[in-house]
Amino acid sequence: QVQVVESGGGLVEAGGSLRLSCAASGRTSSRYVMGWFRQAPGKEREFVARITGSGGSTSYADSVKGRFTISREYAKNTVYLQMNSLKPEDTAVYYCYADVGATPSRYWGQGTQVTVSS
C-alpha cells in the first residue's frame, strides 16, 4: 500500500555531515507521521527521530539531539534527516518509516548505510 525509500547514506569523517532522504508514496495523503530508526550490527534497532504529519512537532533520541534535524518537504512527499557533527557511534543502517492509517500500520524502507570514520 505504501512504499518507503531512503537514500543519501555514505561514508563520512567524524565531525562531518550527511543528509538522508525518505520518500513515502501510495496513499492519497502524504501527511504521515514519519521518522528514522538505525541499527548497528549485533544491536537492537533504535529510535532516532520522528516528525508529525503536519510537521509541527519533532522528537529525537537523546544521543542525536542537537546534532540531527528531521524535516519534511510536502511538495516532494519527502522527509529528510540532516545529520551534523557525526560520530563513529552513529555508524549504522538507517531505516525510514511511515505510520499510515488509523491503526496505524508502520511501513519501513530498505535502509541506507551510514559509516562515520574516526
- Span 7-42, pLDDT tens digits: 999 999 999 999 999 998 876 566 789 999 999 999
Confidence of residue 82 (pLDDT cuts 50, 70, 90): very high
pLDDT for 53 beyond 80: yes
Q: Which letter does DSSP use for residue 81 in this model?
A: E
CA distances 58 to 1, 16, 51, Å, are 25, 23, 4
Cβ atoms < 10 Å from Cβ of 12: 17
- Given this model, what pLDDT does residue 101 score? 84
pLDDT for 54 beyond 90: no
- Given this model, what pLDDT does residue 102 score? 84
Query: Which stretches does DSSP call E strand in the chain?
Result: 3-7, 10-13, 18-25, 33-39, 46-51, 58-60, 68-73, 78-83, 92-100, 105-108, 112-117
- Given this model, what pLDDT does residue 25 score? 85
Q: What is the largest CA-CA distance in the chain?
A: 44
- Given this model, what pLDDT does residue 28 score? 59
| Mean pLDDT, range 110-115, rounded to an integer | 98
| Mean pLDDT, range 85-101, rounded to an integer | 96
